[in-house]
Structure 1
Amino acid sequence: MEFKLIRTNRKTVAIQVNPDLSITVRAPRYASKREIDRIVEKNETWIYKHIEIIKKNKADYEALNVEKLTSEEIKTLAEQTLKLIPQRVEYFARQVGVDYGRITIRNQKTRWGSCSSKGNLNFNCLLMLAPAEILDYVVVHELCHRKEMNHSKAFWAEVEKVLPDYRESVKWLKEKGIVR
């Protein structure tokens, strides 16, 4: 099985199946190629399973014709998102206990949302095509970055305080939430 190997200062081997179906393996600098190959081989079932999930998700995504949205449809989605997101941000900001800056809606290709160090929030207009609980999860996720600008255990604890079942949303985004 072919894969791109990236050696870093990490302590464990991580395997990633990319949207283009290529495989990236991140490994400690000291790990031997033989050991890395053994770990990849041991995880072949997991790798092939995720390749199939990505293929299916791409097919489902194309069936939604998201790629074929006209600029007018995207503009309409952005307008709808701009009406809804500020209400959800205001509601959840009280629960998280944070303030925030400007809210911007974009048609992003790789992200559902982001939070700047200044507290400005960006959201993808395609969130309007996702279930409501997914939109709420993305809002809470970005607001929790106002407390923790990382994805540490402390960050996930903040998310869980507001959305105890947030893992379902994470799973949905991994399985069905391919952003173009």
Structure 2
Amino acid sequence: MEYIVIRSGRKTVAIQLNQDLTVTVRAPWRASQSEIERILQEKKPWIEKHLAQMRRRKEHYDASGTDKLTDEEIQELANKALKYIPERVAYFSKIIGVTYERITIRNQKTRWGSCSSKGNLNFNCLLMLAPPEIIDYVVVHELCHRKEMNHSKNFWREVEKILPDYKKSVLWLKNEGSMIMARR
């Protein structure tokens, strides 16, 4: 199996499956090559299963004839997002009981949204291609970071208070989101 290793100050080894069906291993500086190989061998069934799923989705996507978005289409999505997403942020921020600073709409390769420690919120314009409940999930997710700047159990409890069935949205983004991202 071919893969790329990216070393950093992280504490654990993570396996990332990319949209182009390549494998990236994110590893701590101290991880030996043999340790990385052992982990990859251990995770081989999982990797092969998920790459096969991604391959099938990609083939389905390619067969559907859905093209890459033009610059004009991306700009149109960004304009729609600039109108729609701030309304949803205002609505959910009151329910969650948090404040925020700036809202920025971007055309990102891998992220649906992010929240800075200063309270600035960033959202991907491609969200406008997702169903409304998915957009709401991403908005709630980012706003809950105003209470918990991590993905701890406490963070997920905050998300669940607002969206009890949030796991459906997580699954939707996992299964369908990569096909939207591939259109950029």
TM-score range, shorter chain: 0.7 to 0.9
CA distance in 2, matches of 1:4, 1:155: 31
After superposition, residues 11-26 of structure 1 pair within 5 angstroms as: 13-26=13-26
Q: 1:54 to 1:97 in 2, by over 3 A?
A: same
TM-score normalised per structure 1:
0.82
The 10-residue stretch of structure 1 (157-166 or 134-143) with the greater mean CA deviation from structure 2: 157-166
Q: Identity of counterpart residues, as a percentage?
A: 63
Question: 1:113-166: CA deviations, max 9, x gaps?
Answer: 111222121111111110111101100111011112222222222111111221
Residues 1:159 and 2:159 are matched in the alignment: yes
Q: Name the SS for the 2:122 alignment partner.
A: strand
TM-score normalised per structure 2:
0.80
The 10-residue stretch of structure 1 (16-25 or 115-124) with the greater mean CA deviation from structure 2: 16-25
CA distance in 2, matches of 1:167, 1:138: 12
Q: Name the SS for the 2:15 alignment partner.
A: strand
CA distance in 2, matches of 1:135, 1:124: 10
Superposed displacement of residue 59, structure 1: 4.0
Which consecutive aligned stretches of 4+ in structure 1 deviate over 6 angstroms post-superposition? none
Q: What does residue 143 of structure 2 align with?
A: 143
Superposed displacement of residue 77, structure 1: 1.6
Residues 1:78 and 2:78 are matched in the alignment: yes
CA distance in 1, matches of 2:112, 2:67: 14
The 10-residue stretch of structure 1 (164-173 or 54-63) with the greater mean CA deviation from structure 2: 54-63
Q: What does residue 94 of structure 1 align with?
A: 94
Residues 1:128 and 2:131 are matched in the alignment: no
Q: 1:143 to 1:60 in 2, by over 3 A?
A: farther
Structure 1 residues without counterparts, runs of 5 or longer: none
Q: CA RMSD in A?
A: 2.6
Q: Name the SS for the 1:21 alignment partner.
A: coil
Count of aligned residue pairs for this structure pair:
177
CA distance in 2, matches of 1:5, 1:73: 35
Q: What does residue 116 of structure 1 align with?
A: 116
CA distance in 2, matches of 1:26, 1:82: 34
Q: Name the SS for the 1:15 alignment partner.
A: strand
Q: 1:66 to 1:153 in 2, by over 3 A?
A: farther
The 10-residue stretch of structure 1 (118-127 or 39-48) with the greater mean CA deviation from structure 2: 39-48
Question: 1:60-110: CA deviations, max 9, x gaps?
Answer: 55547352x223222222222222111111111112110111222222222
